């Protein structure tokens, strides 16, 4: 079954430290996409970063990077130099490559990140 697992329900991190949010996935499709979203307390889902299964390099977007380990089926989000505004829920999602799932994302349960001053 296709599945996303986020094992950390909550994390506390000191401001300015780097933080890694875990995400493992399960799919038998050779081609898939992996996404990370941020959901602040306001509720809006904000797209952060994307990694394709055939991408050779790990994706980076500013302070966000995705540590993609294909053999281990993990796609961890790394936030460098955390800021107070990074406090939010973070969701990992996967798009399987099968045509009948072409328009659906499979979502993890999320990790609540709290940055301490």
Partner 1 sequence: DGGITQSPKYLFRKEGQNVTLSCEQNLNHDAMYWYRQDPGQGLRLIYYSQIVNDFQKGDIAEGYSVSREKKESFPLTVTSAQKNPTAFYLCASSIVGQTFAYEQYFGPGTRLTVT
Encoded tokens for 15: 């401001």
Out of 66, 110, 113, 115, which residue is the one contacting partner 1 (CB under 8 A)?
110
107: DSSP letter:
E
Verify binding: residue 45, partner 1, rule CB under 8 A: yes
Closest CA to 40 of 104, 116, 112, 103: 112
Out of 35, 68, 77, 88, which residue is the one contacting partner 1 (CB under 8 A)?
35
CB of 85 to partner 1, least distance (A): 17
- List the helix and strand counts (H, then E) for the chain: 0, 12
CB of 72 to partner 1, least distance (A): 20
Verify binding: residue 64, partner 1, rule CB under 8 A: no
Report the C-alpha gap between 3 and 101 in whole angstroms: 13
CB of 115 to partner 1, least distance (A): 19
Stretch touching partner 1 by CB under 8 A, among 15-23, 65-73, 74-82, 96-104: 96-104
Instruction: Kindly list the distances between the CA atom of residue 31 and the CA atoms of 28, 34, 93, 99, 110, in Å, as whole numbers in the listed order.
Output: 9, 10, 14, 11, 23
Out of 87, 91, 113, 115, which residue is the one contacting partner 1 (CB under 8 A)?
91
Out of 14, 31, 60, 80, which residue is the one contacting partner 1 (CB under 8 A)?
31
């Amino acid at each position: 079954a296709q599945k996303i697992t986020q094992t950390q329900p909550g994390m506390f991190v000191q401001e300015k430290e780097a933080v890694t949010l875990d995400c493992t996935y399960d799919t038998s499709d050779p081609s898939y996409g992996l996404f990370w979203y941020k959901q602040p307390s306001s509720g809006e889902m904000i797209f952060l970063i994307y990694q394709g299964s055939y991408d050779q390099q790990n994706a980076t977007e500013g302070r966000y990077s995705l540590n993609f380990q294909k053999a281990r089926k993990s796609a961890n989000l790394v936030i460098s130099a955390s800021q107070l505004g990074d406090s939010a829920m973070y969701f990992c999602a996967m798009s399987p490559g099968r045509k009948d799932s072409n328009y659906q994302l499979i979502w993890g349960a999320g990790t609540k990140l709290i940055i301490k001053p």
